[in-house]
Structure formats: structure tokens, C-alpha cells
Chains A and B, each alone.
Chain A
Amino acid sequence: MARAYQVVSVLFLLLGLFVLYESLQLRYFTMLGPGSGFFGVWLGSLMAALAVLFFVRNSVPQWRRDEPIDLIPGSLAGFRLAVTLALLALTVVLLPILGFRLTVLGLALILLTVVGRQRWWVAVLVSLAASFGTYYVFSLLSVFLPTGPNGI
């Protein structure tokens, strides 16, 4: 866990320095008072300082936590996770092109069969309800979701 927290510290440090740099490009103080960059300069500096402190804390043997951490999932869980993440990314790309109903139909079918190992007929029924059913219900609530080719 200490090694993972060292990496986390470095990421926080980089983020803090980035926000500090970006905020320094803005006005720190104006005639009226604090400018757009004022809060960001302080937040960036504080984060960078705390990140260094956190790194030190996780580097000194007496202070660090050496509990094991389960960061990488097993092969089956990793496969499910990878498929799900890929599907989520695909959903963002395909939803404006194919529309809500077709995209969600595909997403749900693959999730239920490949990740969830459900029977095909269960997957089809649930996917139809999740895609076409949800679209219909929300159209009744005046929430209009994207449509795809031929208005589907």
C-alpha cells in the first residue's frame, strides 16, 4: 500500500503544480480584491505541499502503512472489468450516432451475456426493456433521449 500511496502522492503533487501554474496565468489580485487566480494559487500550493508530506509519510518505515492492497483484479474479474470499461467508452462514442435505443440494446445484451452470463432469452428481454422500454417511459416524462438512423 505504501508504494501505491507514493504514486498517489506524486500524482497529487503534479496536479497541484499544474493548478498552481494555470492559476498563475490568471490575475492574482485586482483593484477590487482577489482575482480569478487567487483561490487556485492557494489550492495548488497547498496540494503540492501536502502531497510532499504524504509522500514522506509513506516513505519512512515507522510511519507508513504496509497493509496489502488488492489493486489488480483477478483474471476473470479483470476480464469483466475490461469488457465493461470498453463498453462504457463505446457507449459514449456510439450513442450520438446510433441513438439511445440501439446503443443501449447492444450494451445491455453484451453486458448480460458476456459479463453477467445470463440466459439468452433473459438477456434479450431485459435489454429490450432497458433500451426501448426506458426510452418510451422517459419520453412520457418529456425527457427526450438521442435518436439514431431513421429516428430509431
Chain B
Amino acid sequence: MESLDQLVSGLGNALTPEYLLFALIGCVLGQLVGVLPGVGPTAGIAVLIPLTFQLDPTGAIIMLAAIYYGAMYGGTITSVLLNTPGEAASVVTTMDGYQMALQGRGGVALGISAIGSFVGGTIATFGLVLVAPPLSRFALRFGPAEQFALLILGLSTLIGLTGRSVVLGLLMGILGLMLGLIGLDPVIGAPRLTFGMVQLFDGIEFVTVAMGLFGISEILLNLEQPAMQIFETKVANLFPRREEWRRAFGSIVRGTGLGFVLGLVPGTNSAIASFLSYVVERRFTKQPLGTGAIEGVAAPETANNAYTSAALIPLFTLGIPSSPAIAVLMGAFIINGLVPGPLLFRDNPTFVWTVIASLYVGNAILLLLNLPLVGLWVQVLKIPYPILMVLILVFSIVGSYSLNGSMFDVGTMFLFGVLGYFFKKLDLPMAPMILALVLGPLIERSLRTSLEISGGELSIFYTSPIAVTLLGIAAIVLVSSALPILSLRRARAAASEDAEI
């Protein structure tokens, strides 16, 4: 009941004109990010963070969270109408969504995906309201050893579930941790890996790395792609027939449950949620999937939006981002002076509950906006890519420069853009790297504090039941991922982490 009272209070804040406007702007920008091929949610949030610099922390996170889940809605439109997924989670939607469009039922596909997304997102947010407060209270019992074990578990799960090679995932994770070493030692203040450069004393700006790895690298990759052909399909009859409602109902329920559960698991992503829900639907649908079955649209679209809201639970309660997009969102929290984790609910309840309430508001805005704006998004897709490329590039320059008013950050962003280009070409997983970069300072601090308490004895990690359990699970995840029989290889092949980005 206490949670519901706080949610109602948060809703009051989220409905103030100012925050309503930020949610609206975020939803529209998010849809734009979702619509544009080659600009995934991770790059979208990273590039648009500078827009929020002048906002208060609550407004900034409301807008960025809206961009995050707005992208999930936007990606559907191009999947259905153009057979071109705007982001990875919508890839499977093309299979039946586009077939429905060819049969003149594109409007119904968009309608059911908007409704399913709203239901999935809203129910998952309700789950967040129920689960997050007790989980964060439990996590408050954690000391540095337990916190270290938890962070290692989060990182291990991501490494275990993404990419084709666990060794490669570990290498990329360590690379991210090494980047986190750069700067002054947080305890003693000694410079590390700074090469005498004053600009590196504060460490590498996370946002510039994210913008480079995900935004600039995508521009460089797209230079190698042929121009996309745009064609139009008419949209009419947005609402399903009674029989279609009946068929879609079960898909929406299953998609919500699956998306919610996967959102709680670090290392998964929304593409895995939508792909698995599509696989599950094969067992339930009478009409074969891939022939324009409404279940093939309703289930994955519901699952990816349920995932999106549920993935905020590990972030809000434990301070663990479960995917690259959430890691960038976590970076935005830190920029705004907020540290996600159990203390967030205790120390910043107004902020937390306003942001959670804004998820409901945002989902409602998206349901209302999604269909009327379809025509606009199709027009946006007609803008030649070179023009979009220039605009994204200019926005990235402004964003990285405005962090510290320094050209050093612009140069760093370009450097990581080139690195990201080669990482993608070589299929090196970037998700462990970006997550490790965010978690690196926290992991180091908790490790060092633990060893300070124990006088350098490692026993502190295996005498704590919670820590030893979490570290045990982390080891099992890594070992099982290395064994082909137990790995989620099939899911990965269809929904790789790079596609999510």
C-alpha cells in the first residue's frame, strides 16, 4: 500500500505540465530514434543526453526514459509498413507485420502492436512498483563484499549471454574496466594511465565513449550501405476484428509475462524478448506465423515493451544495468548526481516515484501518438540518409563538446567511433565493455573496501552467504555459457547484442 501511495504522489508530479512536456518530447524523439534505421535506442539516448543538460535531474531522466521506450514503439512502424526494422527488437515483427500490410491490414498490425505495447509496458511498470521497493530494502543489507559479488554477477550474466565467445566477452569486459581505471585513483588520488594529460585526470567521459561507440561508428558503417528504398503502404482500419482480438489476447498476456521475466535478467535485451515470444507463439497459433498472423505481431511487440519497463528494476533497485541502452541511461543518472541502487529509493523517493509514474504517462502518450503520427514518420524516412548523417554528427559534436566545453571530448568521441566501427566489423561485443566502463569504478571501490575491511583476506567473499551465492551463480553463468549445449546460441544468433545497439 505504501508503494501505491507513493506512486499516486509520483503521478501527481509526473502530470505537472513541465514533466508532461518532457515526457512528450522524449516520446516523440524516441519514436524518431526507433523509426530511423541505423539509430538504435543506445545510440539515440547517448546522442540526445546533451538535450537534457539544462533540465533538473527528474525532468532529464523522464525525457531520456521516454526516448528509451519510445524507440520501441517507433521501430514497429517501419517494420510493418516498410519491412525495415527501425531497431533490433522489431526485426521479428517484420515477418507477420509486413505480410499484414501487404494484405491491406497494416493499420490493424500497427493498432494491435500499439495496444500490446501499452498493455505490456503498463503491466511491467506495475510489476516494477510491486517488486522494486522490497528488493531495494533487501539490497540495503548488502555490504561492500555483497555489492562486489552482485556487480560481478551483473557483468558475468551480460558477458555470458552476449556475443559468440565468452573469452571475447571477458576481454571486452576487462577493456571496459581498464578504461574505468583512467584518471585519479578514487581512494589515494594518484593518477593512473593518464600519460600526464590533465584532461584525463577526471577519467574518460562515459557519454563521449557511448556516443562514439554507438553513434559515430554507426554513421561510418552506414557509409558502406546502399541507399534504402522507401515505398508506402496505405494505413486504414486500425482496430482488429472481434476474432482477431480473441487471438491477440493470449499473445499479449504471454508476451507480457515473458518480457517481464527477461527484463529482470541482466544480459538479455529486448530483441531476445521479442524473438523468444515469437518462438513461443508458434506453439499457440493456428495460422502459421509468417503469413500475416496477428499473434506474430502482438506477442513480440508486447514482449519488447514489457521487457523495457522490467529492465528498469535491476537498475533502480540494485544499480545494475541489464543492457547497453540501460547502461547509457545509468550514465545519465550519474551525470545528474544520482547513483542507481538501493539507496535511490531511500534517499530520493520523490525522484524515483515521479520517474516510475512517468512511465505510465509515457506509455499512454505513446498509445495516443503512435497511430496519428504514422504518416509523419513515413515522411521522415524519405529524408536522404546523408542529411540525417550530418544532423546526427553535428548533434554528437555539440553533445560531446558541451559536457566540459572541451575539444578533447570531441576527439575522444571520434576515436571511439573509429574503434566501434572496427569492433562491429570484427563482431567484438561492445555491451560488456560499456557495462564494465559504467560499473568499473563501483567494482573497484567495493573490492578495495572489502579487502580493507578484511585486512587483505579473500575470506570476506566466501564467508558471506549472499556474496558466495552471487559469485557462485556468476561462475555458473560463465561456465554454462562456454558450453555450447547449455548456451542460448539459437536466441543469440537471431538477436545479437549488436543488433540491439
Q: B-contacting residues of A (Cβ < 8 Å)? A: 1, 4-5, 8, 12, 15-16, 19, 22-23, 26-27, 29-30, 32-40, 43-44, 46-47, 50-51, 53-54, 57, 65, 69-71, 73-74, 77, 80-81, 84-85, 88-89, 91-92, 95-96, 100, 104, 107-108, 111-112, 115-118, 122, 126-127, 130-131, 134, 138, 141-146
Contact = CB atoms under 8 A, between A and B. Distances in A.
Cβ-closest 4 pairs across A and B? A116-B386, A33-B452, A77-B224, A36-B185
B173 to A, nearest CB: 10
Given A77-B224, A85-B418, A111 B393 contact: yes
Interface residues of B, number: 58
B197 interface: no
Nearest to B422: A71
B426 A29 contact: no
B463 interface: no
> Which interface residue of A1, A44, A92 has the most chain B CB atoms within 10 A?
A92
B401 interface: yes
A95 B224 CA distance: 27
A22 B192 contact: yes
A130 B402 contact: no
A36 B449 CA distance: 13
Contact of B192 (A32, A40, A127): A40
B402 A15 contact: no
A54 B168 contact: yes
Given A95-B410, A130-B394, A142-B54, A111 B170 contact: no
A15 to B, nearest CB: 7
A111 B174 contact: no
Given A39-B181, A57-B167, 17 more contacts: A23-B192, A33-B448, A33-B455, A36-B190, A39-B444, A40-B193, A43-B177, A43-B181, A50-B174, A54-B171, A77-B224, A81-B220, A81-B223, A88-B216, A104-B394, A112-B387, A142-B54
Interface in B187-203: 187-188, 190, 192-193
Contacts of A39: 177, 181, 444, 447-448
A30 B384 contact: no
Given A39-B448, A96-B407, A116-B384, A47 B394 contact: no
Contact of A92 (B164, B407, B447): B407
B389 A26 contact: no
A73 to B, nearest CB: 5
> Which interface residue of B386, B393, B402 has the most chain A CB atoms within 10 A?
B386
> Which interface residue of A1, A26, A44, A53 has the most chain B CB atoms within 10 A?
A26
Interface in B440-462: 444, 447-449, 451-452, 455-456
A70 B405 CA distance: 38
Contacts of A143: 50, 53-54, 398, 402
Contacts of B178: 15, 19, 40, 43-44, 47
Contacts of B341: none
Contacts of B164: 65
Nearest to B452: A33
A82 to B, nearest CB: 10
B428 interface: yes
A91 B410 contact: yes
Contacts of A92: 407, 410-411, 414
Given A50-B167, A81-B223, A116-B389, A145 B411 contact: no
Given A12-B171, A30-B188, A141 B418 contact: no
Contacts of A141: 53-54
B425 interface: yes
A46 B236 CA distance: 58
B158 interface: no
Given A26-B190, A143-B50, A74 B386 contact: no
B390 interface: yes
B424 to A, nearest CB: 11
Interface in B383-416: 384-387, 389-391, 393-395, 397-398, 401-402, 405, 407, 410-411, 414
Given A33-B448, A112-B386, A112-B387, A91 B456 contact: no
Nearest to A127: B390
Given A15-B175, A50-B170, A33 B387 contact: no
Given A27-B188, A84-B223, A43 B50 contact: no
Given A22-B193, A70-B425, A143-B50, A138 B398 contact: yes
B190 A115 contact: no
Contacts of B187: 36
A6 B224 CA distance: 25
14 contacts: A15-B178, A39-B448, A40-B192, A50-B167, A57-B167, A73-B224, A77-B223, A100-B398, A104-B397, A111-B389, A116-B386, A130-B391, A134-B398, A143-B50
Nearest to A9: B171
B425 A69 contact: yes
Contacts of B175: 12, 15, 47
A15 B428 CA distance: 16
B387 A122 contact: yes
B390 A108 contact: yes
B174 A36 contact: no
A35 B185 CA distance: 9
> Which interface residue of A33, A50, A54, A142 has the most chain B CB atoms within 10 A?
A33
Interface in B50-64: 50, 53-54
B414 A88 contact: yes
A91 B394 contact: no
A38 B395 CA distance: 39
Nearest to B436: A43
A51 B393 CA distance: 34
